Chain A
Amino acid sequence: MAARQDDGVLTVGRSRIGTIFANTGGVLFALVMIFPVYWVLNTAFKPRDEVMSFEPYFLPAHPTLDNFVSAIKAENFLSGLVNGLIITGLAVAAALVVGFLAALAIARFNFYGRRAIIMIILCVQLVPLLALLIPLFLMLQGWELTNSLIGVALVYLVLLLPYTVWTLRGFIAGIPKELDEAAMIDGCTRPQVFWRIILPLTGPGLVATAVYGFIQAWNEFIIINTLNSPAKQNLMAWLLQNQTERGTAWGPLMAGAIITSLPVVIFFLLIQRNIATGLTAGAVKG
C-alpha cells in the first residue's frame, strides 16, 4: 500500500477488480502498440520462404542476416547513407549556429520587436513546408541547386531553424540572469559572459537540440525525393524507392527500414525527455 502511494497513484476508492482490469488493459495496450515494431524486426530476420508464407511465422524458424546483407548491397544504399550524413550534418550545424544567436537575443535582451520575432518563429513553425515545395523547387532550380546536396541542406535548414531557436531560447532562459549580472559586475564583457557562462551552461541543450534536428532531417524524404535524383538522395528516400520498385521483397525492405531508422531510434530514446518541450512547454509546469 505504502509503495503504491509513492508512485503517485491514487489509492482511495479503487476496487481490486478495477485494478486488475486496468493492469490487463495496460498490458494489452503495450502489446498492441509494440506489435507493428515487433513485426518489422521479425520479418527482417526471416528467410524469404518464411516471409512469403500464408501461415505467418510469429518467430523466425531459421533466423538469418541475409536480408540485411541484401539491403546494404542494394543500389544507392551507400550513397544514400553518405548523402544523408552530409545533408543532415550541414543543416544541423547551420541551424545551431544561426539559431543560437537568435535564441540568445530573444532570451536575454528586451528589445523593441522581440514579440514580433517570437510571433514569426512560432508562425513559421506551423507553415507546412510541403506547401512551399513548388516555389522552393523553382527557386532552387533557378540557382542551379536542384539535384545537389547543398540545395536540400538549405531547405532542411529552414525546416529545423524555428524549432532550434525556440528550444534553445528555453534552455538559455533556464540559466539564471543573476549569473550574467554577477559576472558583469566582476568585470566580464558581454562576449565573455557568452563564452564563459551561457555557452557552457547551454551545452546539454545544444546537444538535445542537435539530436532532435538530426532526427527531423534524417527522417525527411518527400522534399529530397522531389528535388534530387536517386543517386543524390538520402536513406529514407532510398527506402521509399525500394518499396515502390520491389514491392514484394518485404524481408530486405524491413531490414533496410531497421538500418535506416536505427540511428534515429537510438537518438530519440536518448533525448526523449526533451522532445515534447518545444511544443507544449509551459503548459506542463515541472
Chain B
Amino acid sequence: MTAVDSPTTRPQAAGGVTVQKPAAQRPSRRRRHDALVPWLLTLPTLLVLALLLGRPLYRMIVLSFQNMRLRELLTGVAPPWVGFEQYQKALTDSTFWGVVGRTAAFTVVSVTVSVLAGLAVALLMRRVHRRVRLAMMIAMMFVWALPQLVAAQAFVWLTDSDFGVLNYLIDKIPGVDYANHSWFVNPWQGWTLITVLVVWAGIPFLAISLSAGLTQVPKELLEAATVDGATAWQALRNITLPILKPLLTIVTTLSVIWNFGLFTQVWVFRSGHPEPYFQTLATYSYTQAFGQSRYSYGSAIAVITVLLMLGVMVFYIRQMFKIGEVD
C-alpha cells in the first residue's frame, strides 16, 4: 500500500525521441522577454513574503534591541534603544536557561521515542495480516486528521483528575490508588503526559512515511539475507536501515523542528497559564510578550529560539538538496 505517492516522481515517458528545442530558433527579442517572465511570476510571492515575513523578521530583530512595554504600545512613542540589554537579561537569567534546557530535553526525548515508535510500527505493518494493517492505517489516519487543539483537549479530558478514564483504568491495577490523581502536580508526570500526547499525535506521520519508504527495500535482498542465515536484527541493521536512511533523516529533522516549537499541547494542558516548570521557549516568549507586555524581551527570546533552530533548518535544507528533490 503506498500511502505517500509523490506526484513529482512519476516515471516520465522516456520515448527515446529527442524533441528539438524550438527555443533555439526563436529571435533574441523573445528570449530576452522570456527571461523576465519567471521573475514576474514569482514577484507576487516574493512581495507577500517580504511584506508579511521579511518585515516582521526585521522588526523582531529591531524590537529585541529596544525596550517596548505596554506604555509604548498604547501611546505609540518610539521605544528606547537598549542594545544588547534584553539578550544580556535572558542569557544571565537561570529561568531562561531552565526553559532552554527543558525545551531541548523534551525535543530529544520526544523525537527519539516518536521516531523509534514510528519505525517499529512501520516494520510491524509489514508483518501483519492485510486486515490488521488496514485497521492500523485507519486508526492512524483518524489520529493524524484530528486538529492539534482537539487532540490536546481530548487528552485533558482523558486525564481529568476526577472523571478521567485514565485514572480509572490505572486505579484498577491492584495496589495502585489513582482516584482523583492530578497529573500536573509533579512536573515529571506532567511532562510524561505531554510527551505521550506528542508521540501519539506524531506516530501516524512517521509510521506512514516510513512504511512507504520500506516498500523501497527490495524483498529479494531480505530473502537472500535470510537464506544466508542473517537474523532479523542483522537484516534490519545492514539492509533496511541503510536504504531507509535518507527518509529517516528527513522525518527526524522535521520532528525536531516541530517538537522544539512545542506550544499547543502545553498551552491546552495548562489552560493558557503554564507554571514555570511547564514553560517551553515558545510559551515563554509568548507569555513574556502578551502576558507581561514585555514585547522586546519576548522578541529577544524568539530571536534566540530561531538561532538555536537554524542549524537544524540548514541541515534539513541541505538534505532536501542532497536527495535531489530540489533540482
Q: A residues touching B (Cβ–Cβ < 8 Å)? A: 7-10, 12-14, 18-19, 22-23, 25-27, 29-31, 33-34, 36-37, 39-40, 43, 51-56, 97-99, 101-102, 104-106, 108-109, 111-115, 117-124, 126-128, 130-139, 141, 154-155, 157-158, 161-162, 165, 170-171, 173-174, 176, 178, 181-182, 184-185, 190, 205, 218-219, 221-222, 226, 236, 239-240, 243-244, 247, 250, 253-254, 257, 260-261, 264-265, 268-269, 272-277, 279-286
Contacts and interface: CB of A to CB of B under 8 A. Distances in A.
A272 B3 contact: yes
Nearest to B30: A190
Given A134-B60, A250-B157, A276-B4, A127 B135 contact: no
B140 interface: yes
A50 B232 CA distance: 49
Contact of B203 (A33, A124, A218): A33
Nearest to B294: A134
A273 B55 contact: no
Contacts of B246: 283
A173 to B, nearest CB: 5
B219 A10 contact: yes
Interface in B44-69: 44-46, 48-49, 52-53, 55-57, 59-60, 63, 68
B127 A14 contact: yes
Contact of B150 (A102, A126, A182, A260): A260
A105 B226 CA distance: 49
A280 B4 contact: yes
A106 B43 CA distance: 12
B42 A102 contact: yes
B278 interface: no
A1 B55 CA distance: 62
A28 to B, nearest CB: 10
B209 A284 contact: yes
A167 to B, nearest CB: 8
Interface string B148-168: 111101111110101101001
Interface in B260-315: 261, 263-264, 267-268, 271-272, 282, 285-286, 289-290, 295, 298-299, 302-303, 305-306, 309, 313
Where chain A touches its partner, the secondary structure class is: helix
Contacts of B2: 286
A122 B38 CA distance: 18
B41 A102 contact: yes
Given A176-B12, A286-B2, A98 B56 contact: no
Contact of A123 (B46, B290, B317): B317
Contacts of B15: 178
A205 B8 CA distance: 11
A18 B126 CA distance: 13
A108 B22 CA distance: 15
25 contacts: A8-B215, A13-B232, A19-B127, A26-B133, A29-B124, A37-B143, A101-B41, A102-B45, A105-B39, A127-B53, A138-B63, A138-B68, A157-B48, A165-B45, A170-B8, A184-B22, A236-B147, A240-B268, A243-B153, A257-B153, A260-B150, A261-B145, A282-B320, A284-B212, A285-B6
A110 B53 CA distance: 26
Interface stretch (B86-94, B187-195, B250-258): B250-258
B158 A286 contact: no
B170 interface: no
B7 A205 contact: yes
A243 B156 contact: yes
A112 B160 CA distance: 58
B200 A243 contact: no
Contacts of B127: 9-10, 14, 18-19, 22
Contacts of B7: 170-171, 174, 205, 274, 277, 281
Q: Top 7 nearest A-B pairs by Cβ distance?
A: A282-B325, A268-B145, A109-B38, A102-B45, A105-B41, A135-B59, A105-B38
A54 B155 CA distance: 17
Interface string B66-108: 0010000100000000000000000000000000000000000
Max chain A Cβ within 10 angstroms of own Cβ: one of B6, B37, B143, B148: B6
A273 B3 contact: yes
